[in-house]
Each structure stands twice: as C-alpha cells, then as structure tokens.
C-alpha cells in the first residue's frame, strides 16, 4: 500500500486528539484548584470539629488534591510528548516505506487473447494482474485509470492489458472474472470492468446475471457463458501470474511490445500506488523506446 503523506507532527486527527486531551486536563486542573481554594478557606464547626481541627483537615485535603493535580499534569505532559514523538517518527517511516517489488521476468510476457484498452499498436504496454473483488484494485481503477486514459491511452502512447488473478480469499472473484470474460465475448469487457469495481459487494452470480441488461448484453448468452465457458481463460491467466511470481493484486508490469507481440517488462509495481509513481515508471519505459538507436 502507498504511504500516506502526513504533517510532520502527525495528521489532523492526532493533533486534534492531543489538543482535546490537553484541554480536558486543564479543565480538570481548574476544578482541582477551585476545590483546593474551597477547602483551604476559613470556617468553624465543620462536622462539629474545632476551628483548628477543621483547618488541619482542610490543609491535608488541599495538599493531597494539589499533589494529585501535579501528578496528573506530569502524566498528561509525558503522554502528549510521547504521542507527538511517536506520530512524528511513524509518519517518517511510513513516508519512506514502499511495497516490496517482486522480480522482473527474464522472458517476455504473452498478451495473446488478453483484454486491451487503448491503441493496440502502442509500443509500450501496462499489464495488470487484478481481482474484481480486491479493494486496492478498485482504488486503482478509480484513482489511476482516468489519468492513464487521459495522458497515455487516448494519446496512443500506451496500451493497458488486463490479466485475471482472482484471489482465493474473495468468494466472488472467480465468478466476476468469468463474467468479465463472458461480457468481453460480446464486446463489453471494459463496461463490465467499470461496473464490477463500482459494485464490489454485488458480484455473486445472481447479480452478474441481473447486470447483463444494464450492460446491453444478450442475457441468455451471458448466463450460458457463466456456466464455465470462460473458466479456461481465467485459469490460464492465474497460471501465468504464478510463473511471474505474482502474489497479490494489483500487480503491474510495464514494458516494451516486441515484434512478436510479447512484452519485455522493464518495470514492476505492486499495490495501489499514486498516479505519480505510474507516470514516472511509464515515462521511463517510453524514453527507452524513443531513444535513438546507436
């Protein structure tokens, strides 16, 4: 997961909590001081005691209250200091932490039969192994894909290649992958892609069939396809992912399309990353394509 950039003294929630804690202490301290003043005042006949007895008892109570107030002050100040130091340290560690990257494949990656978005003649390809029920994949589809579309796909600089990697921990991921392939047979893969990420909690087979009408699919053909017709294609993607040491989703490979149509991967990214990370990696690969040959 990408690190979240935060204020050097912590995020707004932490600062607010520290301020609230300090405010509660000082309010309590004011009450203690008021109690100290009240029991320290002059008076006689308290509970039938003599004036000297009352004053002595009040003095002891006042001393105890003052000690309690001072102890609480020290505790709260230490707590606030520890929170500030911990948050500042943790934010720096998080800011420098990146998800570990797996190895680049030694051979080229086949994209034959894969679903492609953008210009199929683009010399650079971004291959994603993804899962329709994965929250990080949905975040990437929402935050990164629109910018990829605007800056690279529409301009013909890049082709986006989808490969399936439904995780076993997601009960509907496999059926959603089958549904996507079945929609793709009717030319609606990317429409299904967008719908699935917008309805991640509704990916059981009944909802997939129900969505067919809204996606302008032939419902009968789609439902028949869901009965295992696309499973071979999905399983082939899973096997390819295993050979590429893909362990989670989303996993991205960015590379140059070779003369045989396969992709020589030069960059690998994992997890939901900000668009700036993609832009840097993609531009680096594009630069190798545009570089003059010697």
166: pLDDT strictly greater than 80 = yes
Return mean pLDDT, the chain.
Answer: 82
Lowest mean pLDDT among 90-99, 114-123, 141-150, 198-207: 90-99
Q: Which own/partner pairs from 144-152 qualify as long-range (CB within 8 Å, at least 24 positions apart)?
A: 144/272, 144/273, 144/274, 144/275, 144/278, 147/275, 147/278, 147/279, 148/275, 148/278, 149/117, 151/279, 152/118, 152/126, 152/282
Question: If you search the block for the tokens 């994992």, which residue do you land on?
Answer: 270
CA distance 172 to 168: 9
Judging by beta carbons within 10 Å of its beta carbon (0-12, 13-18, 19+), is residue 208 exposed, middle or buried? buried
165: pLDDT strictly greater than 80 = yes
42: pLDDT strictly greater than 70 = no
The predicted structure's pLDDT at residue 76: 64
Dump pLDDT digits (tens) for 221-262: 999 999 999 999 999 999 999 999 999 999 999 999 999 999
pTM score above 0.75: no
Lowest mean pLDDT among 12-26, 32-46, 102-116: 32-46
The predicted structure's pLDDT at residue 1: 37
CA distance 258 to 108: 8
For residues 149-161, give the mean pLDDT.
98
Dump pLDDT digits (tens) for 176-218: 999 999 999 999 999 999 999 999 999 999 999 999 999 999 9
């Amino acid at each position: 997961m990408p690190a979240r950039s935060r204020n050097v003294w912590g995020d707004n929630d932490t600062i607010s909590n520290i301020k609230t804690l300090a405010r509660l202490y000082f309010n309590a301290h004011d009450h203690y001081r008021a109690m100290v003043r009240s029991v320290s005042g002059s008076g006689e006949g308290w509970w039938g005691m003599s004036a000297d007895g009352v004053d002595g008892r009040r003095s002891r109570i006042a001393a105890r209250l003052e000690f309690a107030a001072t102890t609480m002050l020290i505790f709260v100040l230490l707590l606030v200091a520890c929170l500030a130091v911990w948050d500042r340290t943790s934010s720096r560690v998080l800011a420098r932490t990146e998800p570990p990257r797996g190895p680049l494949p030694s051979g080229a990656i086949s994209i034959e039969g894969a679903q492609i978005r953008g210009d199929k003649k683009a010399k650079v390809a971004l291959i994603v192994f993804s899962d329709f029920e994965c929250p990080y994949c949905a975040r990437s589809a929402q935050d990164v894909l629109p910018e990829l579309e605007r800056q690279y796909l529409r301009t013909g600089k890049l082709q986006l290649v989808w490969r399936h990697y439904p995780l076993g921990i997601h009960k509907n991921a496999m059926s959603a992958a089958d549904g996507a392939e079945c929609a793709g047979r009717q030319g609606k893969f990317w429409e299904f892609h967008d719908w699935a990420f917008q309805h991640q909690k509704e990916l059981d087979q009944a909802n997939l069939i129900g969505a067919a009408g809204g996606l302008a699919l032939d419902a009968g053909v789609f439902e028949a396809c869901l009965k295992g017709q696309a499973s071979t294609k999905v399983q082939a993607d899973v096997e390819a992912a295993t050979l590429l040491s893909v362990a989670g989703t989303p996993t991205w490979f960015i590379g140059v399309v070779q003369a045989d149509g396969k992709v020589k991967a030069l960059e690998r990214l994992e997890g939901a990353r900000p668009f700036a990370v993609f832009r840097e990696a993609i531009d680096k690969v594009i630069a190798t394509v545009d570089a003059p040959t010697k």
